[in-house]
């Protein structure tokens, strides 16, 4: 059995709690980024008329439902927002 004082025990409990909170925060952030990237894969923005629409196909070129222009799928939604 490990001999410890009450303040050391409390410090260990608080440290474990904070480590758990940090681990949960890191995991939730990873899940959030992954789901955001997955959803962004289906979003397309037309380079001609600026219409934003979703396309769930796997085609490289996606036809705009408004003007009919063929648009390249953007792999990262953040790249699109910076244009
Ligand atoms: Zn268009």
Tens of pLDDT, residue by residue over 18-55, are 999 999 999 999 999 888 877 777 889 999 999 999 99
Q: How confident is the model at residue 75 (pLDDT cuts 50, 70, 90)?
A: low
31 touches 24 (CB < 8 A): no
Q: Which two tokens stand for residue 12?
A: 């260990």
Residue 81's pLDDT band, with cuts at 50, 70 and 90, is: low
Mean pLDDT of 61-83: 77
3-state SS, the chain, equals CCCCCHHHHHHHHHHHHHHHHHHHHHHHHHHHHHHHHHHHCCEEECCCCCCEEECCCCCCEEECCCCCCEEECCCCHHHHHHC
Calculate how far, in angstroms, residue 81's C-alpha sits from the geometric centre of ligand 1: 17
Distance 67 CA to ligand 1 centre (A): 4
Distance from the CA of 12 to the center of ligand 1, in angstroms? 59
- The protein residues having their C-beta less than 5 angstroms from ligand 1 (an ion) are 46, 48-49, 51, 64, 66-67, 69
Backbone phi, then psi, for 43, in 5-degree steps? -90, 135
């Amino acid at each position: 059995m490990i001999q410890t004082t009450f303040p050391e025990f409390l410090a260990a409990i608080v440290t474990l709690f904070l480590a758990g909170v940090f681990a949960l925060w890191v995991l939730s952030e990873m899940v959030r980024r992954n789901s955001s990237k997955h959803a962004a894969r289906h979003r397309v923005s037309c380079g001609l008329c600026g219409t934003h629409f979703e396309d769930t196909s796997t085609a490289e070129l996606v036809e705009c439902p408004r003007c009919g222009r063929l648009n390249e799928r953007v792999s990262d939604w953040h790249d699109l927002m910076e244009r």
